[in-house]
Structure 1
Amino acid sequence: DEEEPEGAERWLHVPCDGSHDAYRDMEDFITALDDQDLARFLNIAIQGPGAFRRFKDMLATSPAQLQRYRLFAAERQHGRARAWLADHGYRPTPPGGH
């Protein structure tokens, strides 16, 4: 019976869904690469524990590809966030709108 903090009705609980979607982003990014050598190394890097660190370390050898991945992953994360909010009844409003 904990007391709700003041203003609690303004907040929406967002559960943690784990890292599956982020891992899928890495897989999809690798699939889209034209550089087959880099794709092969990245496929090896994402196997087992520490996959995220090894993936980013390998991409760091190619700053252009690292930047490309960051943009790719950010867009996918934003898309998942927008979909989750829409599923919970939230809709965007125009800037300055109510």
Structure 2
Amino acid sequence: MPALGSRAGYRDMELFTEEVEDAALADSLRIAIGGRGAFRRFKDVLAGDERSWSRYHRFRDERQRGRTRAWLAEEGYCPRVTFFVEPSSGSNPSGLV
């Protein structure tokens, strides 16, 4: 997969910020992503809220998987999609569906 530089990661931060329901946190994130050092400031803001930190990492990881799947499709591959079920949600201890 070709390198996308920081543009895709920055876009992930923008999109995540748009989805944040806590107005104060969203404002802090908007300020954090302005100018040089945006990635560090964004992470510093999220580090103060463990739940949002985890949500961001799930959001970012899914976006990265989506970009990878799109690139594979463009290259003519059909990636196998595996779904993960949270361990606490049922009787399937492997987490695979």
Identity of aligned residues (%): 52
- Structure 2 residue runs of 5 or longer lacking an equivalent are 83-97
- Structure 1 residue runs of 5 or longer lacking an equivalent are 1-13
Partner Cα distance (2:15, 2:5) in 1: 18
1:6 counterpart residue number:
none
Compared with structure 1, are the counterparts of its residues 21 and 93 closer, same or farther at alpha carbon in structure 2 (3 Å cutoff)? closer
Larger gyration radius, structure 1 or structure 2: 1
Q: How many residues align?
A: 82
Match among 68, 71, 78 for residue 55 of structure 2: 68
1:88 counterpart residue number:
75
2:32 counterpart residue number:
45
Partner Cα distance (2:68, 2:11) in 1: 16
C-alpha RMSD of matched pairs (Å): 1.6
Structure 1 residue ranges, 4+ long, deviating more than 6 angstroms after superposition: none
TM-score by length of 1: 0.78
